[in-house]
Chain A
Amino acid sequence: MIELSDNQKKWIDAAKKFSIKQKTALCAHRSDDKISRARLLFSLCCEERFQGLLVPEAYGGSSLDYTTAGLIFEELGYGALSAMPSLLATVHCMEFINIAGTVEQKKEIFTEVIANSIPLGFGLTETSAGSDITQITCRAEKTDSEYILNGTKAIVLNSHIAGIFLIIARLTSGQGRAGLNAFLVRSFRSGIELSPPYNGLGFSETVIGEVGLTDVRIPHTSIIGDEGSGYFLLMETFDKCKPFVAACCVGAAQRVFDIILEYTKSREQLGSTLFSFQGISFKLADFAAKIRAAKLLYLEALMRIDAHSSFTMESSIAKLYASETLREISEFGLEVLGYRGVLEDNPVRDIFEDAQLLISIDGSSNIQRMIIASQL
């Protein structure tokens, strides 16, 4: 049995309250444009200090352990999944900086994000570089006084609301994996151009778009970590953040489970409740087991990170299992609910859509399988 500490209970309670608060706020701003709503949602997250859970207190953060942060993400996944992509993008960037940033970079960026509620944008993916990040073509040219960035980043979460981007670019001096580096780029820099936000399925409250960089000049102090270290820092960031994505998936899966359970126990067809049919109840029994397993897997990964044990494989297992479970149960939810499930504002519909995208955050399921296989 998982015993929660008083502090963990306090944070989870705050996450529960936030879920109601954000829902009310989004309803009140229903007619606002997407970018305004995304800004609003992120600022509400910041009011609860969710953007700095792992950040050391010295930089204004909450200095929580990974396990506690995971439990909070699970609760947020349950009640406020739509706020998660934007928050997760910022948390990923913060973690990257936490791992390899200088004291000055941490002071500067963490203060902005925590005190001023500024979201961060993760500029990694490119049109021709997704799972294989060694194909990244965005270039950084080093001159005596600065770096000059050129390229286009695709599928950037928070593209239009981020105050700072973490851009992965290739230094002209480096080849393959060793050429990759991370740079902090302020969104107001000359040469940054944003394309109109995508209008795709899922992540409906998150602004996602392309960020073009043309001769964007940034100081030498903008690089995070040593030259050539970007690939390894990315891997560590992903491996440490995957369990958070898994935790969100577990929370969302539990939400869908609860909706299906309530519905099937109350709806009567053919003279008895839907739940009384084994075609439904056995499926729910399987999902009860899967959600429990997914929770234990993400907790194991996070506890290993907290304990400084190896966590590569455990993180990938947690992410793979939780995101696939979420996809399965949300699909089952739509099947059970029928047309009700696809009506506007039905949470199962939104979760089903988000589930398709959560699968690809921090690497698709097949990438996770590749990582797990490599560790066997």
Chain B
Amino acid sequence: MGFKKIGKKIQLAREAKGLTQSDLADKLAITQAALSNYELGKRRLYLHQIQKFAEILDKHLSYFIDDENIDRHSGTGPNTGESKILLSNEEIMSRICSLNREEIQLLSEFLDFLEWRKNDND
């Protein structure tokens, strides 16, 4: 239903701001358990709640509600050459988090390979 993606974006924005779940929950005057449910996409979020997240996490509303994994307001977008090559840390994290256990294993092996190749070239 799309709320898992928004929850993940909340988690990434919170972590980027260096806040724990308890810190953010306090700022929102909700319980840490409730925030955890939002981040896991287990609770539907309404617009006024997303607006509050955006305000506290210094993000534009569109960062949360746009379907794409881009930050329109960071200056990079899907149609720029730069964005196709340079992904933001948040997007990388978001994409990793959407992988299953087997895919993470494959990714890990690929990273090992890249590391090996880099060391070999050095």
A: residues with CB less than 8 A from B are 99-100, 175-178, 225-226, 228-229, 231-233, 235-236, 239, 310, 312, 370-371, 374-376
What residues of chain B have their CB less than 8 Å away from a CB belonging to chain A?
1-3, 34, 41-48, 50, 61-62, 65-68
Whether the Cβ atoms of A177 and B2 lie closer than 8 Å is yes
- B44 and A177 within 8 A (CB): no
- Would B47 and A236 count as touching, CB distance under 8 A? yes
Given A177-B67, A178-B65, A226-B61, also A375-B42 (CB < 8 A):
yes
What chain B residues lie within 8 Å of A370 (beta carbons)?
Answer: 1
Could you give 13 example pairs across A and B, Cβ below 8 Å?
Answer: A99-B47, A99-B48, A178-B62, A228-B61, A228-B66, A229-B47, A229-B65, A231-B65, A232-B65, A235-B46, A374-B41, A374-B44, A376-B42
Task: Kindly list chain A residues whose C-beta atoms are within 8 Å of the C-beta of B68.
Answer: 175
Q: Which residues of B contact A177 (CB under 8 A)?
A: 2, 65, 67
Q: Which residue of A lies closest to B45 (CB)?
A: A232
B residues in contact with A226, CB < 8 Å: 61
Bound complex: CA A178 to CA B2 (Å):
11
Shortest 5 CB-CB distances between A and B: which pairs? Answer: A176-B67, A232-B47, A312-B44, A236-B46, A178-B66
Other CB < 8 Å A-B pairs besides A226-B61, A235-B44, 6 of them? A225-B47, A228-B62, A228-B65, A232-B46, A232-B47, A374-B1
Interface centre among B46, B47, B61, B67 (most CB of A within 10 A): B47
Residue in contact with A312 in the complex, picked from B43, B50, B61, B67, CB distance below 8 Å: B43
Docked pose: A67 CA to B112 CA in angstroms: 59
Q: How far is the CB of A317 from chain B (nearest CB, A)?
A: 13
In the assembled complex, which residues on chain B have CB atoms less than 8 Å from the CB atom of A231? 65
Closest to A176 in B: B67
CB-CB under 8 A from B66, the residues of chain A are 175, 178, 228
A235's nearest neighbour on chain B, judged by CB, is B44
Contacts of B61 in A (CB 8 A): 226, 228-229
> Shortest beta-carbon distance, B1 to chain A, in Å?
5
| B contact residues around A99 at 8 Å (CB) | 47-48
Residue of A nearest to B61 (CB): A226
Complex Cα spacing A172 to B122, Å? 50
- List A contacts of B46 (CB < 8 A): 232, 235-236, 239
| Complex-state Cα separation, A19 to B62, whole angstroms | 47
Do A233 and B41 touch across chains, with their CB atoms under 8 A apart? no
